[in-house]
Structures are given as structure tokens and as C-alpha cells.
Structure 1
Amino acid sequence: PYFTTKPAGTGLGLLIVRRIVREHGGELSIESPHGKGLTVTIRLPYIDKRVRMLEAGESRPH
């Protein structure tokens, strides 16, 4: 963390992305073979469109 190549960067980009992905039940993995670049893989759970999302403050039906 806290590494950036940009003059105004904070180096927090991937940490923020990882937090958001985890909050949505997903996974983030990073592969960086020496001299071959960087691969970032994001896996998010599939949500069936037939599932109704709860509105903020709404409780689940029992």
C-alpha cells in the first residue's frame, strides 16, 4: 500500500477497490510475475435478476 507513480497519487487505489469488492462478497487477487506486468482479477458473486434487492432500511421478509 501507499505506492504510487503519480505526482498527486496516494497509493490507496487498489486498497479501496479491494474493500469495495469484499463488501460485495467478492474476491480480488493480484499476480505480478517479475518483468511481466500485473494482473488484477476481481470475482464478484452472480446475483440473479429475479432476486429483489432490499431498499435501505427495509427488513427482510420472515
Structure 2
Amino acid sequence: MAKMLKITLVKSTIGRPEDQKKTARALGLSKLNSVVTKCDTPDIRGQVNKLRHLVEVLEYET
């Protein structure tokens, strides 16, 4: 079974540094409360860690 992450943008990227905005866009998070599902990999974990104050993460297995 693969581990998956459900990532929700719960705070706006307005007023945040450009690198955080680009990271959110790279994850597919464009609008407030947008949700994406990604595989749990070290690179995705790194991106989520950079946005930990802006997102909520739910781990689950498929």
C-alpha cells in the first residue's frame, strides 16, 4: 500500500515570500482551501515542510 498525503491550503500566500508562493503553485495549490493528493515522497515532504504554516496535511494509505 502506498502512503498518500492530502494537502489543503488553509492560509493565503498573499504577503508571503516569492519562494513560498512558487512552492504552493508547484504543489498545485492555487486558491484558498484548494486540495491536492500527492504520494508521500521526501521531495513532497520538503515542500510541505516549507509551507507548514500555510497548509494542513492528512496522511492515509491506499
Comparing both chains, which one has the higher relative contact order based on Cα–Cα distances under 8 Å and sequence gaps of 6 or more? 2
TM-score (norm 1): 0.26
The structure with the greater share of residues assigned to helix is: 2
The structure with the greater share of residues assigned to strand is: 2
TM-score (norm 2): 0.26
